[in-house]
Structure 1
Amino acid sequence: MGSGAWLRLLLALGALWGIGAREKVLGTLGKATLLRIPRQLQEHTLDFGEASWKRSTEEPQRKKFLLKFSGGNYTEFEPGRMRFHTLDFSLEILNTSREDGQLYEYSVSKGSVEEVWQIQLEVFEPVADPSIRILHQELSNGSCSLTLLCTSERGDEVSYSWDSRDNGTWGICSGNGSFLNLSYSLRSASFGCVCTARNPVSSRDVAFNSSQCGSEQPGDPGLRTELCVLLVGLGAVIAIVFVAIVIFRATHLAKRDQNPSWPVPDHSQVTPASTSPTIYAQVQRVQKPKGTVPIAASSSCTTIYAVATGPPPAPDGAPRSPAGSPTPRGHSPLSQEPTTVYASVTLPVA
């Protein structure tokens, strides 16, 4: 029985059981994915002219129409995301996303019978270029021992394997997994180990040379990245300390300006000059006797008005400190008030 007969049998059984033959297709994230149908279904589509593409939904009992084909014409329900090829009736997903990973169904109607072909689409993110890091190294007695780690930053279901670049290393680089332990003599010829990162839709590799023992792997940004992070963090700490010092000094100066050691005098408590006491002084003129000039029965006095400045009298009548005493600390000299002084001066009479 040929392959065509087996396919017809599967389709017939699928139509009888309400299910169709199924295949699995792998799609790459961000790239186009083409869903094809077998040659026999293409011929049946040409014969009967009634077909459709559908996709399963989150509800098992419901399906979504993507395209309907009838009599040589077709209708697309997602033209911006899907493209229908009339040559082989295949359906192309233009930009495959993770949400496109569904069960697709192509059905051909021929009278009362429907033939179904199902495609399970699985979407994978491709692997990125891997890198190799030296996790451990030891130099002893002219030999080198290394522990290597191979990683890829992106990719779904990534697997790693190691192999030799040439056939002269006797399988020293063979291994599976991300880690590889090496031990070899530095006097031996240089050789290379290749790490391959792969998944169902992509594969990338990177090489490590044995002469790099004790040095940083070129293209491995691990150590340089750690150093850059350390320098950036140190610079940020220095900048924060500098800003804190500037703010502290500015705050300290502002407080010192607002609270000086000598307070500003309160002019509202200074006694106005109009209330200053008046000094009264009496000057008596004394006349000398000349001949028969009679002596004045009473001496005339002249009153002199003067003002002197001194400490104001205490409210309770207590004596104040002398005017010459120093001003108490913390009090302004403007708080002193004028005081009345009485003096008598006797002048000779001519």
Structure 2
Amino acid sequence: MDPNRSLSLGMLLFLSLAFELSYGTGRGVMDCSVIIQPLGSDTWLSLTNQINKSANKSVRILVTMATSRGSKTNKKIVSFDLTKGGYPDHLEDGYQFQPENLSLGILANRRENEGWYFVSLEENVSVQQFCMQLKLYEQVSTPEIKVLNKTQETENGTCSLMLACTVKKGDHVAYSWSDEAGTRLLSPANRSHLLYITLSNQHHDSIYNCTASNPVSSHSRTFDLWQECRREASKSSSWLPHTVAPLGVIIVIILIPTAVMMLKKQGKKTCQPPVEENSLTIYAQVQKSGPVEKKLDDDLTDQDPCTTIYVAATEPAPEPVQEPNPTTIYASVTLPES
């Protein structure tokens, strides 16, 4: 065997062994580039980004993947020998490899594709290596703004609101509040989704924006604070009609039966025949003159010389009821002459 060839093979084995050792122990201090991609999208990782142009002289490309930077267990993703060309020696399911530009593709990436990718390019007498960290973020949805608390002072015309801005989807979401002119209401360090603000009658800016964002997406929602305050004022001013209407219905329900009962009682009283009072005749003075022997069969048309004065008398009813004992009181009686 040629001594030079043996020396080259020995050197290659030594470098491979050194690479394996450094690959397992030195990756913790390796500077890894960060690649951010939306979750569920197609991702392509270039394997020649951070290596020199001598990569076309490489003999073999090996890519492994770990879920954490200090992990001792790596998954083999792709192994490709450039001298052979054609199809890779090994390609993990869910990945694609393009030998013409040395790129690794992930179609419709998933959470399990997130992690650290370690790439090594083995040449005849050297080994180059670098790593990439793939971060996947779910895109944020359009935020929703809800009123958590509202206080309205009618005396000074101020309206205080506690607002909450939330999203249904999204990873590592940061929130920011701004007015219609774009001025931030909170400091950049404050990424709270809550906003407490007080408006007065002299406050003209009432439209505010909440922006929810993460490294791969951003969406905003506008909110009119004065409209919310006016809605509360209209509710408070219209409580009287809404309260009086049911109360009026209840009163009517109570009064109608009462009125019907009273009318029935009054009708019974009017239908009853009037109670006829006892006939009472009072003579203030009775005088009789002339002979006692006046014939009893005198004509009834003769004028009675006696004077009768009725002090009180009642009109007889259409059908008078005969009283058992009528009472007659004589104020003065003159006896006939003997």
Q: TM-score, normalised by structure 1?
A: 0.50
Counterparts of 1:70-219 in structure 2 under 5 Å? 70-71=82-83, 72-75=85-88, 77-78=90-91, 81-140=94-153, 141-166=156-181, 176-214=191-229
C-alpha displacement at 1:176, in angstroms?
Answer: 3.4
Output the CA distance in 1 between the equivalents of 2:217 and 2:89.
31
Instruction: List alignment gaps of at least 5 residues for structure 1.
Output: 1-13, 218-350
Q: Are 1:129 and 1:204, in contact at CA under 8 Å, matched by a contact in 2?
A: yes
C-alpha displacement at 1:96, in angstroms?
Answer: 1.0
Aligned to 1:22: 32
More strand by share: 1
Match of 1:36 among 46, 50, 53: 46
Q: Are 1:84 and 1:90, in contact at CA under 8 Å, matched by a contact in 2?
A: yes
The number of equivalent residue pairs is 202
Could you tell me which amino acid in structure 2 is paired with residue 214 of structure 1?
C
Counterparts of 1:254-293 in structure 2 under 5 Å? none
Instruction: Determine helix, strand or coil for the equivalent of 2:229.
Output: coil
Larger Rg: 1 or 2?
Answer: 2
Q: Are 1:192 and 1:207, in contact at CA under 8 Å, matched by a contact in 2?
A: yes
Instruction: List alignment gaps of at least 5 residues for structure 2.
Output: 1-17, 233-338
Instruction: Determine helix, strand or coil for the equivalent of 1:55.
Output: strand
Instruction: Determine helix, strand or coil for the equivalent of 2:77.
Output: strand
Cα deviation 1:266-304 (Å, max 9, x = unaligned): xxxxxxxxxxxxxxxxxxxxxxxxxxxxxxxxxxxxxxx
Q: Are 1:27 and 1:201, in contact at CA under 8 Å, matched by a contact in 2?
A: yes
C-alpha displacement at 1:183, in angstroms?
Answer: 0.8
Aligned to 2:262: none
Output the CA distance in 2 between the equivalents of 1:120 and 1:172.
35
Cα deviation 1:92-123 (Å, max 9, x = unaligned): 21111111112212211112422112112222
Distance 1:53 1:215, change over 3 A: farther
Aligned to 2:58: 48
Q: Are 1:56 and 1:102, in contact at CA under 8 Å, matched by a contact in 2?
A: yes
Question: What is the aligned-residue RMSD (CA, Å)?
Answer: 3.1
Instruction: Determine helix, strand or coil for the equivalent of 1:73.
Output: coil
Q: Are 2:66 and 2:116, in contact at CA under 8 Å, matched by a contact in 1?
A: yes
Output the CA distance in 1 between the equivalents of 2:67 and 2:147.
47
Instruction: Determine helix, strand or coil for the equivalent of 1:189.
Output: coil
Output the CA distance in 1 between the equivalents of 2:176 and 2:116.
32
Aligned to 1:248: none
Output the CA distance in 2 between the equivalents of 1:154 and 1:194.
19
C-alpha displacement at 1:21, in angstroms?
Answer: 4.4
Instruction: Determine helix, strand or coil for the equivalent of 2:226.
Output: helix
Q: Identity over aligned residues, as a percent? A: 27
Aligned to 1:226: none
Q: TM-score, normalised by structure 2?
A: 0.52
C-alpha displacement at 1:157, in angstroms?
Answer: 1.7
C-alpha displacement at 1:37, in angstroms?
Answer: 3.4
Aligned to 1:245: none
Distance 1:195 1:131, change over 3 A: same
C-alpha displacement at 1:26, in angstroms?
Answer: 1.9
Could you tell me which amino acid in structure 2 is paired with residue 68 of structure 1?
F
Aligned to 1:222: none
